[in-house]
Amino acid sequence: MNSAATMRRVLTLIMMLVVCGAAVAQPGSRTHDNRKKNMPPAGRNQLEFRARHGETFMVYLDGYALNKVPQGYVKLSDVAPVQHEVIVVLGHPQQRAVVFSLGPVSPRAEVLVSYERQGDRVDVEPKGCHLSYYPVPTMVGGSGNWPPEPPVAAPQPEPTLWVASEEEVASMVMRLKAQSFDSDRMALCRTMVPTAHLLSSQIARMAETFDFNTSQVEFLIFAFPYCMDPDNYYKTTDVLTFSNDKKSILDLINANRH
């Protein structure tokens, strides 16, 4: 009886071990998920990247970033002794990149990184591993720049100056001529001019509708702040008869030059 009970316990223990082992080996298990899919192939070798003259850089080994910020020393242990694809992106003093194949890696391999100012490029010197270059792909800028140069923005067109149309000015002139007195014309101008976007030539046409020089001067002084081309406002003095009236408008223009 004791022998039979002992045998049953042994068989039960063996079955439990088999079941647990199968659960651990399943691809969907927690142990399998914790492995980083992008990590380089594991091995027992060690690979170091060192700056030669204080440069800082990022290292991508087989598509996996070895450091999150530019550093002058990057180390990776447990590297498989096979060929690896490497991208070194210089962060200081110039943002330049170099792409190369590296391998096989010896038990203690090292790569010295430096910036060659004369050639404006990244230089890498391997120790304990073989190095072979190939062209920098377009993903890192093509010419070696990292990141790629931003596109040049297209020049923006100059804003168009919006002014009153000839039809609008003709309508305003007709309304002014329909008034019997300059005081009525001036009151109407105070309503129309501020939002009309008038040129100096259009303002001069409106000034001609006034009967008296004093009224014309009053109107030209009022309309000056609303003129769309103040540099040409001196031409409005052509509608005035007396030199003193013309001088008053010219003095107004000169006093408001920037």
User: For 116-155, how does the pLDDT look when each residue is reduced to its tens digit (9 = 90+)?
Assistant: 776 667 778 888 777 766 544 333 333 334 444 555 666 7
Which CATH entry fits the domain spanning 42-140: 1.10.287, 1.10.3470, 2.60.40, 1.10.1060?
Answer: 2.60.40
What's the pLDDT tens digit per position in 45-69? 788 888 888 888 888 888 788 888 8
Of 3-12, 43-52, 57-66, 198-207, which one has max mean pLDDT?
A: 198-207
Other Cβ atoms less than 10 A from the Cβ of 92: the count is: 13
**pLDDT for 25:** 39
Token duo for residue 215? 């009224």
* CB < 8 Å & 24+ apart, contacts of 158-166: 161/228, 162/197, 163/197, 163/198, 163/199, 163/202, 163/228, 164/196, 164/197, 164/198, 164/199, 164/202
137 neighbors 76 (Cβ within 8 angstroms): no
Residue 80 structure tokens: 């498989």
- The partner residues of 108 in beta bridges, in order of sequence, read 46
pLDDT digits (tens, 9 = 90+) for 68-96: 888 888 888 888 888 888 888 877 655 67
pTM score > 0.85 for this model?
A: no
CA-to-CA dists, residue 189 to 83, 192, 198, 210, 213, angstroms: 85, 5, 12, 11, 16
Peptide bond into 93 cis (omega under 30): yes
Helices (H) and strands (E) in the chain, counts: 7, 9
Phi, psi of 224, rounded to the nearest 5 degrees: -55, -45
The ranges assigned to domains in the chain are: 42-140, 166-255
Contacts of 94 (CB under 8 A, 6+ apart): 115, 120
